[in-house]
């Protein structure tokens, strides 16, 4: 085939044939199709979209570009969760051991943070000794022994997606629902899980700002999963305010441990239990009640074994930033707004996030929220505490928070419900 013919087909608004999709993904992975040609095709997809059959075939071609993991040797069903990312979204940390404590195996391949959204691997790497890189054999071994594993995806998993994602990142072609959905689902399906629950975030701190766009993405991903024989469910969840009280790597680990110990912020507990129930039901284990596993300490036991299995010390003190700055309430009243995006950018500027994938992160940096929208506050009480190793970072973090806090004499905040919709 010829790359130009494929580009022109989509440029002119026509369907790509299965043969065209198979050829162009394979040829691009091998270097036969040049970056500029694939960039032109990606832009044509951004402008003209793809139908369900095209997206499913595109995903399949990316899966076939690499290896596919196999967990059929396990004596328990596999189920996984993927979040589209947000501010304070540490749900994977308590969720994976909780679901494992209820009888499922959770093979969780996670990523690193970029910009204002945090990364699960960055959070876990704040635990002394913990390592993200495991071979497929090591991953299977941890699943057998513990029931849950959280690690980085290997280079052999959907290499076409890795190459295409890097290209989209520098050519203005990231914001395409078919390309976003196929990117996420190619890795999740290649991971080999039998069931998948998608947490699609909505709001200022999320990639999808509106419910309509988030629903379109969720429906596309559920269709891809279904077409590939993976039982897939999606929840649309709120990201118009930070999730929980902690934003930052070690800060979020500490909050996740609080949840496993039976405490933690109500929204984090609620979403953890909601997703756990969805994962267990998708795996055929809906008789198990994850609330019991939190209450009796079995989820905490799995957490500790999971951390040790990857070289970490669950008893070691977490890193603490050297400097802190507290932002107080300027007036008394009801906190009606705390913008998730602004808090995420502040944490990023304090050192908790990165601008480029190769940048280091500060494990102790971040923001602690002392009040949540809907709560009454008093003038002068602490609202946010900023943590960093470099005090010069405070100024730009405070600039990011300018206008992020709204306090009114009375009333209630206009917030999205924590769980907005369910798509199956």
> Where in the sequence numbering do the catalytic residues fall?
82, 161, 168, 183, 187
The answer to whether the CB of 160 falls within 8 A of the CB of 61 is: yes
Q: Per-residue b/e over 220-244, b at no fewer than 16 CB within 10 Å?
A: bbbbbbebbebbbbbbbbbbbbbbb
Angle at the Cα of 423 from the Cα atoms of 422 and 424, rounded to 5 degrees: 125
For 373, residues 6+ apart whose C-beta sits below 8 A from its C-beta are: 241, 335, 336, 337, 338, 413, 415
What are the two backbone dihedrals, phi and then psi, of residue 110, each rounded to the nearest 5 degrees? Answer: -125, 175
The answer to whether the CB of 147 falls within 8 A of the CB of 101 is: yes
The greatest distance separating any two alpha carbons of the chain, rounded to the nearest whole angstrom, comes to 69
Please give the DSSP secondary-structure letter assigned to residue 349: I
The answer to whether the CB of 387 falls within 8 A of the CB of 348 is: no
Helix runs in 16-82, H state only: 18-30, 35-48, 52-64
Q: Which residues pair with 148 in a beta bridge?
A: 106
For 2, residues 6+ apart whose C-beta sits below 8 A from its C-beta are: none
3-state secondary structure (DSSP) of residue 423: strand
The answer to whether the CB of 377 falls within 8 A of the CB of 341 is: no
Unique residue bearing structure tokens 């999606």: 234
Q: How far is CA 261 from CA 256, 273, 298, in A?
A: 9, 14, 10
Please give the DSSP secondary-structure letter assigned to residue 319: P
| The two structure tokens encoding residue 407 | 């306090």
Angle between helices 249-260 and 266-282 (to 10 degrees): 70
Unique residue bearing structure tokens 């940048």: 359
Cα of 73 vs its chain's centroid, Å: 27
The answer to whether the CB of 343 falls within 8 A of the CB of 369 is: yes
CA distance linking residue 150 with residue 330, whole number of Å: 41
Unique residue bearing structure tokens 């090591």: 138
């Amino acid at each position: 085939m010829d790359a130009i013919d494929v580009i022109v087909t989509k440029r002119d608004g026509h369907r790509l044939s299965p043969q065209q999709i198979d050829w162009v993904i394979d040829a691009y992975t091998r270097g036969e199709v040049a970056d500029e040609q694939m960039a032109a095709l990606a832009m044509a997809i951004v402008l003209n979209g793809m139908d369900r059959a095209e997206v499913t075939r595109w995903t399949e071609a990316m899966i076939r570009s690499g290896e596919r993991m196999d967990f059929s040797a396990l004596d328990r069903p596999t189920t996984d969760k993927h979040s589209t990312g947000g501010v304070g979204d540490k749900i994977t940390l308590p969720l994976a051991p909780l679901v494992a404590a209820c009888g499922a195996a959770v093979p969780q391949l996670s990523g690193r943070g970029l910009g204002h959204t945090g990364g699960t691997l960055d959070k876990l790497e704040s635990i002394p000794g913990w390592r993200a890189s495991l071979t497929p054999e090591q991953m299977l071994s941890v699943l057998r022994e513990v029931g849950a594993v959280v690690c980085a995806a290997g280079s052999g998993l959907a290499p076409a997606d890795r190459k295409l994602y890097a290209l989209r990142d520098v050519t203005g072609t990231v914001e395409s629902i078919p390309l976003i959905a196929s990117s996420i689902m190619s890795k999740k399906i290649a991971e080999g899980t039998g069931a998948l629950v998608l947490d699609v975030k909505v709001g200022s701190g999320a990639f999808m700002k509106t419910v309509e766009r988030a629903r379109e993405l969720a429906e596309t991903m559920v269709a891809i999963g279904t077409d590939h024989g993976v039982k897939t469910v999606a929840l649309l969840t709120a990201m118009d305010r930070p999730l929980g009280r902690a934003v930052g790597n070690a800060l979020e680990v500490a909050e996740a441990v609080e949840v496993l110990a039976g405490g933690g912020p109500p929204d984090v507990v609620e979403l953890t239990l909601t997703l756990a129930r969805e994962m267990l039901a998708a795996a055929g284990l809906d008789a198990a009640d994850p609330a019991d596993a939190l209450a009796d300490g079995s989820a905490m036991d799995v957490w500790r074994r999971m951390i040790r299995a990857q070289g970490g010390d669950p008893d070691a003190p977490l890193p603490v930033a050297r400097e802190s700055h507290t932002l107080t309430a300027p007036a008394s009243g009801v906190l009606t707004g705390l913008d998730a995006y602004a808090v995420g950018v502040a944490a990023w500027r304090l050192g908790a996030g990165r601008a480029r994938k190769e940048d280091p992160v500060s494990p102790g940096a971040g923001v602690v929220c002392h009040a949540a929208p809907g709560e009454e506050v008093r003038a002068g009480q602490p609202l946010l505490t900023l943590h960093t190793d470099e005090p010069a970072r405070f100024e730009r973090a405070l600039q990011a928070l300018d206008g992020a806090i709204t306090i009114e004499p009375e009333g209630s905040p206009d917030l999205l419900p924590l769980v907005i919709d369910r798509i199956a």
